[in-house]
């Protein structure tokens, strides 16, 4: 096979792959669900904001530690409701190396709290409402 023949084969394959018929046969890429970002800042006075409302779905919570204590025990809970008891969803400290704590999950309608275990006044409420 000559170089010219090989070049023409590659060129033809590229044209065929770029054709509308070839693109229609490719499997559709799955759409990633939209992620809502909730960014909380922990200061000596507590969380800012102290309450936020979001729509149900995929939510990423990020907490930036501006207090300076590296080993704060963070807690993410779902508050108790009529037939559902209070539920701990995540419990872990900030890592020394990173001043950011993050968690991503699918949130259902309800009220959630992000708090520091040893400081009851350092709490932020996340109210999740149904999608319309």
- Mean pLDDT comparison of 7-16, 29-38, 52-61, 68-77, highest-scoring range: 52-61
pLDDT at 73: 87
What separation, in Å, do the N-terminal and C-terminal C-alpha atoms of the chain show? Answer: 62
Residue range 67-117, pLDDT digits in tens: 877 778 889 999 988 777 888 998 888 776 677 888 899 999 999 999 998
Residue ranges covered by each domain of the chain = 36-129
Sign of CA dihedral 36, 109, 113, 101: negative
CATH topology of domain 36-129: Immunoglobulin-like (2.60.40)
pLDDT confidence of 8, banded at 50, 70, 90?
very low
Q: Which of 122, 105, 111, 114 is nearest to 79 (CA)?
A: 111
């Amino acid at each position: 096979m000559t170089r010219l023949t090989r070049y023409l084969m590659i060129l033809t394959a590229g044209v065929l792959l770029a054709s509308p018929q070839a693109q229609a046969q490719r499997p559709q890429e799955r759409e990633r669900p939209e992620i809502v970002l909730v960014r909380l800042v922990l200061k000596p006075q507590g969380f800012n904001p102290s309450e936020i409302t979001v729509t149900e779905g995929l939510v990423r919570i990020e907490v930036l530690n501006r207090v300076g204590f590296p080993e704060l025990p963070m807690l993410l809970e779902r508050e108790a409701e009529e037939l559902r008891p209070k539920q701990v969803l995540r419990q872990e400290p900030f890592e020394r190396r990173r001043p950011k704590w993050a968690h991503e999950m699918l949130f259902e309608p309800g009220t959630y709290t992000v708090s520091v275990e040893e400081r009851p006044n350092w709490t932020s409420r996340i109210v999740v409402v149904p999608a319309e």
